[in-house]
Amino acid sequence: MIPEGKLAIIWCQGTHGAAEYQLHFEGGLSAFKRPKSPGMSNRVKFPIPSMTSQTAGQYRCFYRSGELWSEPSDPLDLVVTGLYDTPTLSVQPRPEVISGEKVTFRCRLETATSTFFLLKEGRSSRPQRRYGNIQAEFPMGPVSTAHRGTYRCFGSYNTHAWSFPSEPVKLLVKGDAGDTTFAPTEHTSSDHWDSYMLTTETRFQEDPVLWDHNAQNLLRIGLVFLVLVALVWLPVEDWLHRKKSQERASRASSQECRRFRAQSPGETTERCSGHRQRELTKHFDHGRNMRISTLCEDPSGCSERKDICKENKSMVGGGRQKS
């Protein structure tokens, strides 16, 4: 618990050689630090200059060793006090009891509230919670010497924002029936509870996707990369599709041409270039007439074939023959 306006220091402890520490607040990145001399120290501190209701809440820390991030630390709940009026605390039947008796702490706050907390001073203690509008009771017992100590209570509307602490109440517990003295109590003012430590586990895991800003940046870069790949791939895919179509048409044309050649064996072929490819075939029939076969091609294949007959210049039987 930290009084409003006071300094709070959170320590994050990892391993020697940790390259970076991150402090997370309520699921989001709050701060990060890189050790000035990695390997020399295994912890860093994150100060909170002035505690307010905005800085009160649950904290966790991580550290990075190489490319791997540690698992999150146990949660630390920072509570700011001094935001509401001061409650009153009393203990019934009396503050001095014998071991085995039962007692009840009563916390009262005239200003309407919803939740009350009873806390035994000491770093290892955890607050007890009760609900009520004006007051709440905290029964305890049978008590033992472990219950002795100094207690305070708080009122609150918010789990992490509490009222001013009540005046302390000391519970004195006599050890046994033959002991007429009361055990001394420890007294630790809550005003001095301003430094906490988080210890992370030594197990490692790959970069957590929780609230890691590096992961968010990598995600953005990945999305941009995918968009660029799509912009490049679409025209390339279209070009490959057209190329395959042309290759299929060319193969079909070649097969058609081979079929025509097979139907006219012994022909000599002359290729000529141009926008439309054509094939001129010359041969002589059994007579002495020369026949010219014209084969026209277009991108879809051989389309037509024409035979042109020319007269032989030599005379056969005293006249001209036509084929």
- Cis-peptide into 93, omega within 30 deg: yes
Instruction: Give the pLDDT of residue 217.
Output: 58
Alpha helices in the chain (DSSP H): 213-263
Instruction: Tell me the pLDDT of the chain (323 aa) as tens digits.
Output: 899 999 999 999 888 888 899 999 988 888 888 887 776 788 888 999 999 999 999 999 999 988 889 999 999 999 999 988 999 999 999 999 999 999 999 999 988 678 999 999 875 678 899 998 889 999 998 999 999 999 999 999 888 999 999 999 999 998 755 554 444 444 444 444 444 445 444 333 334 433 344 455 567 788 888 888 888 878 888 888 888 888 887 777 777 666 666 655 544 444 444 444 444 444 444 544 555 554 444 444 444 444 444 444 444 344 444 43
> How is 264-313 classified by DSSP, letter by letter?
STT-EEEEE-SSS-EEEEEEE-SSS-EEEEEEEEETTEEEEEEEEEE--S
φ/ψ of residue 137, rounded to 5 = -110, 145
Residue type present at position 286: H
What is the Cα–Cα distance from 126 to 190, expressed in whole angstroms?
13
* pLDDT score of 36: 79
State how far the Cα of 26 lies from the Cα of 11, in Å rounded to an integer. 17
pTM above 0.85, yes or no: no
Measured between alpha carbons, how far is residue 78 from residues 44, 116, 194, 212 in Å?
A: 18, 17, 9, 22
pLDDT for the residue 263: 59
Best CA proximity match to 155, nearest among 105, 106, 84, 90? 84
Helix, strand and coil in the chain, % to nearest 5? 20, 40, 40
Q: What is the pLDDT of residue 213?
A: 45
pLDDT of residue 262: 61
Q: Which domains does the chain have, with CATH numbers?
A: 1-211 (2.60.40.10), 219-310 (no CATH)
Q: How high is the pLDDT of residue 118?
A: 96
Question: Please, which residues have CB within 8 angstroms of residue 195's CB and are 6 or more apart in sequence?
Answer: 8, 9, 11
- The residue behind tokens 């520490």 is 21
Looking at residue 126, what is its pLDDT? 82
3 state SS of 110: coil
Can you name the residues that pair with 136 across neighbouring β-strands?
107
The whole-number pLDDT of residue 58 equals 94
Tokens 């990060």 appear where? 32
- C-alpha to C-alpha distances, 160 to 27, 128, 297, nearest whole angstrom: 15, 14, 87
